[in-house]
Amino acid sequence: MVRKVKKENPRILILVTFLLMAVISISIYKFIINPRNQHVFKIEPDSTVSISPDKLNSHNVILIRLNNHTVLMQKNSEEKIYPASLTKIMTAIVAIENLPNLREKIRLTNFTFQGLYEADASMTGFQPGENVSAIDLLYGALLPSGAESCIGLADQIAGSDQNFVKMMNQKAADLGMDNTHFENATGLHNENHYTTVKDLAILLNYALQNDTFREIFTSSRHSTQPTNRHPGGITFYSMMFEELNNQNIIDGEILGGKTGYTTEAGLCLASLAKVGKQEYILISAGAKGNHHSEQYNITDALAVYNSIGK
């Protein structure tokens, strides 16, 4: 008896092929395109940093070489910390990505300032009733660490600080900042407002890819456009560059940074530097001291950057 050979249905073959291609495409998307996988750090087996993390004042530290996302140094990098004003890195990048026009005017109201002076928050110098461009508020948030600039941006974009914080937490989740939760846009202390220096490195690494953010982050000063409350504008300065006080590293330059401090967080710093031909980011937190003591977050940054390649 001759056995009949069953012919394959070409429609089924086409369907199976299509499904396989779809699965492969989704896998490639998740691994390559999804932001969670853009910032996977790898450990350098033979570190090029000569200083020991134990010699630093900061309790939590991570140093990343940007070109290949390599961790050159870490110390308690996945331990929970309070980010203080390093929070404003997230505030700024979320605002930049959700503002269609950075030149639009935003009106700061009495509500914008509610509770900020009582909390002894850092301020930019704007006033209630002032109409300020979005770009000037972004500079105000990152350079002098102005809390009213953050609230003004949050209210404009999301209607309230609380709604804006939801966007911040969603962004953190998208980036794979799995040990981070925000409660406000300013960094004022809250027990449920926390992160890690590793998560902050993921955030800064991402934010620096945005040209607007990088330009602001690396600026030492900024003069605003005239407003209805300040006809001559306001000039303010980067707190990091002021605390750096013209000090710099031997074989390069600290390009930009954001300081932070609360009693609970200690002295914190997120900075970008170029040493030789490479760029690095350093996140540190938990250094003892305050605004009136030696700035141990700055001295740690100088020590670390100066030790690269030595």
- Annotated active-site positions, please? 85, 88, 145
Q: Find how far residue 116's CA is from the centre of its chain.
A: 22
Contact partners, residue 162, CB within 8 Å, separation at least 6: none
Helices (H), the chain: 10-28, 87-98, 134-142, 147-158, 161-175, 197-207, 211-217, 239-244, 296-307
CB count within 10 Å of CB 71 equals 17
